[in-house]
Amino acid sequence: MLLLLFAACKTAAPARPPEFFAAPAGPMQSLPFSEAVSANGFLFVAGQIGNLPGKLELPPGGIAVEAKQALANMQAVLERHGASLRDVVKVTVFLADIAEWPAFNEVYKQTFHAPFPARSALAASGLALGARVEVECIAMLPGK
């Protein structure tokens, strides 16, 4: 039995080093973090706020508008790196005001459908650019 276990471990493919993906050209590229990292068949997407694409500014309209844009920004990162919303297994949501959780959920349910990914939501003080919401996720990379 021990020999079988040893043989299985010996023939396992070596882990590939992680791949770090910078944001596309524009103001986001100057920020000190990768927009996503691929490691061991997973894609880790950095927190996305509801900034307008290619700009460091938020749309007017409050939590619903920002949530919709933040989720769209997250979806764009996933798609740039070979994944989709269907591949997401975990979402973390940061809210500037936890009282806005119900409003965020209404937008979230327009983006994700059952079976839903695992999710955590928490209040945070001081999101980037004064955002109302930030979302990050982990996705399985298809075929990896």
DSSP label of 54: T
Domain containing 116 equals 17-140
Residue written as token pair 């927009």: 35
pLDDT digits (tens, 9 = 90+) for 94-133: 999 999 999 999 999 999 999 999 999 999 999 999 999 9
Strands 42-49 and 36-39, bridge-based pairing:
antiparallel
**pTM given for the model:** 0.87
- Report the domain count for the chain: 1
- Distance separating alpha carbons of residues 28 and 88, to the nearest angstrom: 23
Residue written as token pair 């990162």: 77
Helix (H) or strand (E) holding 63: helix 63-80
Range of 1-10, 29-38, 64-73 with top mean pLDDT: 64-73
Asked if residue 7 is part of any domain, the answer here is: no
Strands 118-123 and 88-95, bridge-based pairing:
parallel
Asked if residue 2 is part of any domain, the answer here is: no
pLDDT digits (tens, 9 = 90+) for 19-52: 999 888 777 777 888 999 999 999 999 999 999 9
